[in-house]
Amino acid sequence: MSFWVNRIKFLMTGVGLKKNNMVVTIYTVCYNEELILPFFIEHYRNIFPNCRIVIYDNESTDNSVLIAESYNCEVIKFQTNNTISDSKYLEIKNNCWKNSTTDWNIVCDCDEICLITLEDLKIEDHVGTSIIRFSAYDMVNISDNPDDIEIKKLKNGSRNSIYDKDFLFKKSRITDINYFPGCHKSNPIGSPQYSNKQYKMLHYKYIGENYLINRHNIFKNRLSKENINFNWGTHYNDGENIIREYFKTLKLKSEKVI
């Protein structure tokens, strides 16, 4: 049965009115995300009113924790000796949602924004979906000024299937999500039923040229020995010229996404 037929049936039966109390929990790992964190929180609070947001903070040195707390998010601090430890991130993302008090949960990064509404999710829930499919787009700042960062004004992007991921799923139907390193691929266990519709996920990594170069330099110096040994996160070693060239390419091939 098509998504739109199910949608019509859903609206006609009034299920949406019966499930207005559906709540979603969002889990994310954070390191120095003071620039994007307000945008992230406001977006999810807007599409999922009353959502619970849990932020695992990995020794941030900026105002990320203060910002999260000012928005009444739950903050859980964890340490990795000031390094990027993908094995620790993997442990958190594979398990953080298991004690959730909500059935639907999002496990994502601070630069990942999904375009799905509460009504959409209620419809998917009603037809038996347990994992929402997403198509990822790299959002890019097309301004000629490399320091001109206005996240809310970014409308252009480019399709990037590498970042497609299963990050919105139903706890009662999924016993283990089994993310692989990087958390873009998974092997869910339980009763995975993917949505027929594929929703958009916006990846806000390329919000500023100099911003990205600075982030890469910081993350390059935080790579753990484990990450280096397994070649995890080694893209942070890309030099300034490579990043600027890729930025130009991304701007040229980008199209309006939202």
How much is the pLDDT for 50?
93
AA identity, residue 138: D
| Mean of pLDDT over the chain | 92
Q: Helix (H, G, I), strand (E, B), or coil: what is residue 213?
A: helix
Give the whole-angstrom CA distance, residue 204 versus residue 182: 16
At 248, which helix (H) or strand (E)? helix 240-253
Q: How many CA atoms lie within 13 A of 239 on its CB side?
A: 1
Beta partners for 140?
206
Tally of domains within the chain: 1
**β pairing state of 255-256 and 156-159:** antiparallel
- pLDDT confidence tier of residue 146, bands split at 50, 70 and 90: confident
Structure tokens at 56: 């695992």
Does position 5 have pLDDT exceeding 50, yes or no? no
How much is the pLDDT for 163?
93
Does position 61 have pLDDT exceeding 90, yes or no? yes
Does position 212 have pLDDT exceeding 90, yes or no? yes
Q: Helix (H, G, I), strand (E, B), or coil: what is residue 168?
A: strand
Provide mean pLDDT across the span 49-78. Answer: 97
Full domain range(s) for residue 205? 3-256
Residue 175, domain CATH: 3.90.550
pLDDT in tens, 214-251: 999 999 999 999 999 999 998 999 999 999 999 999 99
Does position 254 have pLDDT exceeding 90, yes or no? yes
How much is the pLDDT for 17?
33
- pLDDT confidence tier of residue 18, bands split at 50, 70 and 90: very low
Rounded (5°) CA angle 49-162-102: 25
Instruction: Classify residue 151 by its DSSP letter.
Output: G
Provide mean pLDDT across the span 132-154. Answer: 95
- pLDDT confidence tier of residue 159, bands split at 50, 70 and 90: very high
Structure tokens at 237: 């070693």
Q: Helix (H, G, I), strand (E, B), or coil: what is residue 184?
A: coil
How much is the pLDDT for 119?
96
- pLDDT confidence tier of residue 8, bands split at 50, 70 and 90: very low
How much is the pLDDT for 57?
98
Does position 10 have pLDDT exceeding 90, yes or no? no
- pLDDT confidence tier of residue 22, bands split at 50, 70 and 90: confident
- pLDDT confidence tier of residue 182, bands split at 50, 70 and 90: confident
Provide mean pLDDT across the span 154-159. Answer: 97
